[in-house]
Amino acid sequence: MRLEDRTVVITGAASGIGRATAERCAEEGARVVVTDIDSDGGEAVADAIEADGGEAVFYDLDVTDADQFHAVVEEVAESYGLDVLVNNAGTGHPGASLENVDDSIRDFVIDVNVKGVWNGCHAALPRMKEQGHGSIVNVGSLASILGLPKQAAYSMTKGAVLNLTRAVAAEAGPYGVRANTVCPGFTDTQLLEQYLAQRDDPEKAREEMAEEYPLKRLADPEEIANAILFLASEEASFVSGHGLVVDGGFSTC
């Protein structure tokens, strides 16, 4: 098992990529710490993992609250240890030209997508540096490497996540800590459903989106989870500061 006796903290783990990652890590022997602002959903994920024979615990966590993030990480580290942090929690915004994006929406996206990742790294790094090992996996996006039209705020934040990851990798590497980013293409999650719901014909929009990919389909959350699992594990022991693009070939077109 690739994560046997390892403790993995995952943000935004109540659904989508986060849930799939929690389940895959548990299958690989990890003690999974499920965190989310959705308490009911997060507890359900932890309960399902335990029912399947895995080990999981749920913590309520708003990633924009730095004090809460530090408290959760400290409690987890003292109780279970801390080997991997997956900064998965994120949000999007309705499609709009940059000049039409309200400041409050911009600020909220920055708070979740950038400050949330910063808060996680800020909380976990002292412990990981002190113990001399650790892996941080941040969830970026195709928008980390491509500017998406009418998604300026989202693109800005996901670009920041990738470069923050590089900075963390350069700084923490001498302490035995790795940091990487997974950059998924469009994935079949609630966030995608919210994005498609803005279209006149969501199902047609989904089909047209899939046609833009060389593989002619969108990603399943489990496919992104597998990439996260690889970067979290010792199979990626010499991979750090990397943005792993998991986009079905979209960025090659």
Tell me which residues are annotated as active site: 154
How far is residue 31's CA from residue 3's CA, in Å, rounded to a whole number?
8
Question: In angstroms, rounded to a whole number, what is the distance separating the alpha carbons of residues 172 and 221?
Answer: 29
Q: How far is CA 163 from the centre of its chain?
A: 15
For residue 98, count other CB atoms closer than 10 A to its CB.
Answer: 13
The runs of H, that is alpha helices, within the chain are: 16-27, 39-51, 66-80, 103-110, 116-131, 152-172, 190-196, 202-211, 221-232
215: tokens are 């593989």
Q: Which residues touch 67 (CB under 8 Å, ≥6 apart)?
A: none
Instruction: List CB contacts of 163: < 8 A, sequence separation 6 or more.
Output: none
What does the alpha-carbon distance between residue 25 and residue 85 come to, in Å, rounded to a whole number? 12
- Single-letter amino acid code for the residue at 122: H
What is the chain's length?
253
Rounded distance, CA 113 to CA 151, Å? 13
